[in-house]
Amino acid sequence: MSEALSSAPTPRKRNDRYEEAAVQAGRTGGKALAAKGSKLRTKRAQATLKEVAELAGVSQMTVSRALNAPEMVRKPTRERIQRAVEELNYRPNLMARSLAAGRSLFIGVGYNNPSSAYLSELLLGALRTCRSAGHHLVVEELPESAVGDPEALAGKLRDSGLDGLILAPPLSENAEVAAAVSGIGIPVVLLSPGEGTSTAMRIGIDDERAALLMTRHLIGLGHRRIAFIAGPEGDFQSAERRRGFERALDEANLPTDQALIAGGAYTYRSGMDAAASILSAAAPPTAIFAANDDMAAGAVAEAHRRGLRVPEQLSVAGFDDTSLASTIWPSLTTVHQPIAEMASRAVLLLGDAGSQSDAAYQLDVEIIERESVAPPPQEV
């Protein structure tokens, strides 16, 4: 894997006409020497603290303080430094800072097999915050085999030299894994955790409330017969979402028709099957709310197969706002989780020595209205 380049399929030059230009352009834009150039490129003539200090006529320490704790430096000094910083286009060297301060963390992101949409948002959010907080992100794929043996997993993580760990779902829902991992002596944040009882920090959303909100939205539009496609039996999140759904129905004094509740497995296909069963009911619904987007998309497919137009004849709502939701036609009205922000929080939490190891945060969700939901057809 790391020797990838050497075992490469023959690299083929597509254009030859750039040969000269390339050499001429050089890399640092200056000094045309040292074709071997092992070093030039990294020395991008970055201004250092020292230079800024000299230009501003103060000591390095003062500059450092002006940057890290501005309130400790008198205003005129601070402004002088500020000007020097701008003039030299100074940017602190994060590595040196980390090294000297000894305050930067290596944070692992343990993931298993999340949707790629989830993962990319997660990484983006974490990466951004790591950068600004001076931490470093280490991705750590934890395959099924590792999950099967929590002991080994903990051992592996223990000597990976990490200072903190973020566990993404579905890993974070696994109580065994959570327990094993929280025993390694480094702070752990569980994202969208299951109901486990490990001593780890938790960041998630209020699934019940999110489902309640979406169902209310549907009811507000005029729907009275609403079906729900649940996730697998025993799944914590699915149960929460279902609870929210039922509570909204109760609130509106609508009956809960068991024929309109079907179980799925979070997959597209299971959504199709569940929708098939629901749509075959004696009194079919005008809206279907699925516990995730994949099943919602499956429900749309099944509706189409039966010649039902979405959303004119049937509304379909999803949950998660995966890329699928905005890809298909009609695009799905769904519940969006602030994944990037959750990741960002997780990083901050790990970096904050003061955080309680049993803290739990719930972030707000957002209902994304797209094309798959509309008022029910007029029965008149």
What is the footprint of a copy of itself within residues 192-211 (CB under 8 A)?
197, 199, 202
In the complex, the smallest distance separating the C-beta of residue 292 from a copy of itself, rounded to whole angstroms, is 11
Minimum distance, C-beta of residue 167 to a copy of itself, in the bound complex (Å): 16
Binding status of residue 4 toward a copy of itself by CB under 8 A: yes
Q: Which of 252, 323, 336, 370 binds a copy of itself (CB under 8 A)?
A: 323
Residues 6+ apart with CB under 8 A from 138: 106, 107, 108, 109, 160, 162
Q: Candidates 17-25, 53-61, 243-251, 280-288 — which segment interacts with a copy of itself by CB under 8 A?
A: 17-25
Q: Under the criterion CB under 8 A, does residue 116 sit at the interface with a copy of itself?
A: yes
Two tokens at 218?
A: 């549907």
CA dihedral 65, 67, 73, 79 (to 10 degrees): 140
Q: Which residue has the tokens 């974070």?
A: 172
Q: Alpha-carbon distance 354 to 361, whole Å?
A: 15
Q: What is the CA radius of gyration of the chain?
A: 27
Pick one of 34, 72, 152, 359: the residue that binds DNA (CB under 7 A): 72
Sign (positive/negative) of CA torsion 90, 94, 96, 101?
A: positive
The DSSP line for 8-39 is PSPP--S-STTHHHHHHH-SSSS----TT-SS
Q: Residue written as tokens 């903190």?
A: 164
Q: Find the binder of DNA among 26, 54, 60, 284 (CB under 7 A).
A: 60
**Interacting residues with a copy of itself between 237 and 266 (CB under 8 A):** none
Looking up tokens 């719930």, which residue turns up?
A: 362
Tell the residue number behind the tokens 């998309």, with chain if given: 297
21 binds a copy of itself (CB under 8 A): yes
**Contact range with a copy of itself by CB under 8 A, out of 111-119, 148-156, 237-245, 279-287:** 111-119
Nearer to a copy of itself among residue 116 and residue 280 (C-beta): 116
Q: How far is the CB of 128 from a copy of itself (least distance, A)?
A: 7
Q: Which does 256 bind (CB under 5 to 8 A by kind): DNA, a copy of itself, none?
A: none
The residue to which tokens 């993580």 are assigned: 157
Q: How far apart are CA 201 and CA 193, in angstroms?
A: 9
Q: Write each residue from 53 to 72 as x if it is in contact with a copy of itself (CB under 8 A), else as -, in one continuous string.
A: --------------------
Q: Which is nearer to DNA, 25 or 99 (CB)?
A: 99
Residues 20-59 that bind DNA (CB under 7 A): 39, 43, 46, 48-50, 57-59
User: Largest Cα–Cα distance of the chain, in whole Å?
Assistant: 84
Q: Which of 352-357's residues contact partners 24+ apart within 8 Å by CB, and which partners?
A: 355/187, 355/201, 356/201, 357/187, 357/199, 357/200, 357/201
Fill in the per-residue mask, 90 to 129: x = in contact with DNA (CB under 7 A), - = not in contact. x-xx--xx-xxxxx--------------------------
What type of residue is 131? R
Whichever of 79 and 364 has its CB closer to DNA, that residue is 79
Site residues (CB under 7 A) for DNA?
A: 39, 43, 46, 48-50, 57-62, 64-65, 67-68, 71-74, 76-78, 90, 92-93, 96-97, 99-103
